[in-house]
Chains A and B, each alone.
Chain A
């Protein structure tokens, strides 16, 4: 029982990271109907921003948590800027072209970032500095690390903030309008280019947060780390119903739990396979995803 609970927490923790990355896929899909295949690489960039910033910032403030928060915030900002650049220079010029063109650009951009990453950061894995010294927390029979708790709390907080932004703010409303009908949104006086750029920035910032949270738990980072996580987060977004933000969170959690359970009770050889098994099943039986098409609001 305790080991099950332990697995459950690990699964939710992993799932919340998939969810953070999946949100970026789903938000961009919502406004542009584009699968941004370079999104996983932004997650990788986030981890590297975190890596270099940690070296500069670690120990600069009296508290480890404040160091970590600063690293996190600046990395998110860095990735938001990367997202803006990507949108402006890779996707905006081809927005009127066919979807296939956009898709090819996305794949090319992804390869470009991965290879540039290997060139600039080196192809070998780097060790992500320990921003917060590990300590153990005993909860009944459960053994948690403080890092697990921080990862989970941060991910949940970010998702709540995103939700408030999308459903409560004027700009969030504009974003929902754009995702529903771009021309109608323009008629309302909404600068849709700005909203699209903002969507990329937000999604990229969340991916950066994911990259850093993962690196806090599993400190090895490399320039191709975004490939597998990107694919899995994409599966999570499709599973939940791409374009639907609640779907992305749900899909991420299901995927994280499934993966941890398979590794825990089955064989860890299959932990990566489960994502693709889920993808095949969902495409066969519910191609619109769990919450897709009309069930809940799209963003």
Chain B
């Protein structure tokens, strides 16, 4: 469904991704793990066209994404839940969701989509009139995911959804991701919490200073001593 082949991206003179190749199968959950500054967010931003790779090719359902503006990529059916959530703090929860459904011009369908998000995250319904900036971190993460769901993405990219959340909240978030995946969306999950990410995914890639250094089935990688030492703290 999503293929990166030999993708390299840099910020000015800083090389953030070097020759990255990966593949996400339709219907699966794949994960990309790595330490701070490994280039995980850059990989997701490159897919969304928020930064431009200077080499390599990104294909989504057979269509090349390079050079396509971000809003068109979003319209093609990919949603990114960005690092740090980036909810629109000065807008209400409801307005945030409406913006998530920006491309849905049919008001009735929009209402139905919002109801669906409220069903996945009942907490959001209670807070719908509240400014998004005043939500707790976990609620903001729910909102960011809910907002992404509004577009009915076929591919959902998640950038460190567990960041800064209490374990209970992390599990709630990941259960929701499971549900979203069962309902048909393919998921690419970026995480520093490797333990969790490897448990919740089928395939995994390990990124280190911009290069993929390991890849394989998540279950196998979880057992790999190098991964255990470097990322699982065992």
Contact = CB atoms under 8 A, between A and B. Distances in A.
Interface of A: 170, 173-174, 176-177, 180-181, 183-192, 297-298
17 contacts: A170-B98, A173-B98, A174-B102, A176-B88, A176-B90, A177-B99, A181-B88, A184-B87, A186-B50, A186-B69, A186-B71, A187-B48, A187-B80, A188-B102, A189-B75, A191-B71, A297-B90
B128 interface: no
A191 B69 CA distance: 9
B222 interface: no
A180 B71 contact: no
B42 to A, nearest CB: 13
Nearest to A179: B90
A178 to B, nearest CB: 10
Contact of B91 (A176, A183, A192): A176
Contact of A184 (B82, B95, B151): B82
A299 to B, nearest CB: 9
Chain B contact patch, size range: 20 to 34
Given A180-B90, A184-B87, 16 more contacts: A174-B99, A176-B88, A181-B88, A183-B70, A183-B86, A184-B82, A184-B86, A186-B48, A186-B50, A186-B71, A187-B74, A187-B79, A187-B148, A188-B100, A189-B74, A189-B151
A213 B82 CA distance: 46
B91 A177 contact: yes
A170 B98 CA distance: 9
A289 to B, nearest CB: 16
Nearest to A298: B90
Contacts of A185: 99
B112 interface: no
Interface string B43-72: 000001010000000000000000001110
Contact of B88 (A177, A186, A189, A192): A177
A176 B99 CA distance: 10
B151 to A, nearest CB: 7
A170 B206 CA distance: 41
B23 to A, nearest CB: 23
Given A180-B89, A184-B86, A173 B95 contact: yes
A173 B90 contact: no
A180 B48 contact: no
B196 interface: no
Given A173-B98, A174-B99, A180-B91, A192 B86 contact: no
B101 to A, nearest CB: 9
Nearest to B79: A187
Nearest to A171: B102
A190 to B, nearest CB: 6
A189 B70 CA distance: 7
Contacts of A176: 88, 90-91
Identify the 4 closest CB pairs spanning chains A and B, nearest first: A186-B70, A189-B74, A184-B86, A189-B103
- Select the residue from B70, B74, B75, B95 with max chain A CB neighbours within 10 A: B70
A122 to B, nearest CB: 44
